[in-house]
């Protein structure tokens, strides 16, 4: 069976005091909880890995540089992330693609760098509102999959997160039918490229205004194996019900 995963992206939020949420989250997890990964801002990574010890919660970063080292002021390498004890890193998030003009080939390079450091890459894809309204969603997804995923994808080194850009932080959520269509399409594309054995085991996450009151509906989709959650992951009281809904799906 594919592993289920609930990933929380804190984005540019949180201080050391926020890490008490990890212990609160631990006490709220169901006995059959899926994998849980929290991705705090880079300055909190080491303290987060220490705070997460004995909780079963894993820690990830929100981005890494595509190069192993060098004159890249302000950037963080995958090996630095791994050195903190983190296990995952998000690459290709729409906010990075937009604000930092990252391209598919940049995301692909970051994923390979993450793998080389022993990290699991959570590779994000998703269409804009303009593309969505023009019915170009599947074409955009196909292009991002082809350009962003390296050839050596495995179920242990890669998680794919579909985040329709128009739904991130807006409160807008695609219908269940739309989510099913895209996730089924992603699985088909993975199967065509990597074969059934690999494709069937790669976790596919949905992200975009996932909240306690809509999580159970989203997780009804057969090819939705979890969620990449933004704002609702900042507080254990909001994130725990989403994790519970995933465990019951």
Q: Which residues are catalytic?
A: 93, 163
Tokens found for residue 105? 């080939």
**Among the listed residues 35, 34, 42, the one whose alpha carbon sits nearest the alpha carbon of residue 10:** 42
Tokens found for residue 225? 């194996």
Tokens found for residue 83? 């050195």
Q: Can you count the helices (H) and strands (E) in the chain?
A: 11, 8
> Residue 106 in contact with residue 97, Cβ under 8 Å?
no
**CA angle, 18 as apex, 13 and 22 as ends, to 5°?**
115
Hey, is 52 helix, strand or coil?
coil
Hey, is 180 helix, strand or coil?
helix
């Amino acid at each position: 069976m594919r592993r289920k995963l609930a990933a929380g992206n804190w984005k540019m939020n949180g201080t050391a005091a926020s890490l008490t949420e990890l212990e609160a989250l631990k006490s709220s997890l169901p006995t059959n909880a899926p994998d849980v990964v929290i991705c705090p801002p880079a300055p909190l990574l080491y303290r987060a890995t220490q705070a997460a010890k004995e909780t079963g919660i894993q820690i990830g970063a929100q981005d890494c540089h595509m190069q192993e080292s060098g004159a890249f002021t302000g950037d963080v390498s995958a090996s630095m992330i791994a050195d903190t004890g983190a296990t995952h890193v998000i690459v290709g998030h729409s906010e990075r693609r937009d604000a930092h003009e990252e391209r598919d080939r940049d995301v692909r390079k970051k994923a390979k760098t993450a793998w080389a450091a022993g990290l699991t890459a959570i590779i994000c894809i998703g269409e804009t509102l303009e593309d969505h309204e023009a019915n170009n969603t599947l074409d955009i997804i196909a292009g991002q999959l082809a350009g962003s995923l390296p050839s050596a994808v495995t179920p242990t080194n890669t998680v794919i997160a579909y985040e329709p850009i128009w739904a991130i932080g807006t409160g807008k959520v695609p219908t269940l039918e739309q989510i099913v269509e895209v996730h089924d399409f992603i699985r088909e594309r993975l199967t065509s490229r990597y074969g059934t054995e690999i494709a069937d085991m790669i976790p596919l996450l949905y992200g975009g205004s996932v909240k306690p009151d809509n999580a159970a509906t989203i997780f009804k989709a057969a090819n939705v194996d979890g969620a990449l959650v933004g704002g609702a992951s900042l507080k254990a009281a909001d994130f725990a019900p989403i994790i519970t809904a995933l465990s019951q799906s």
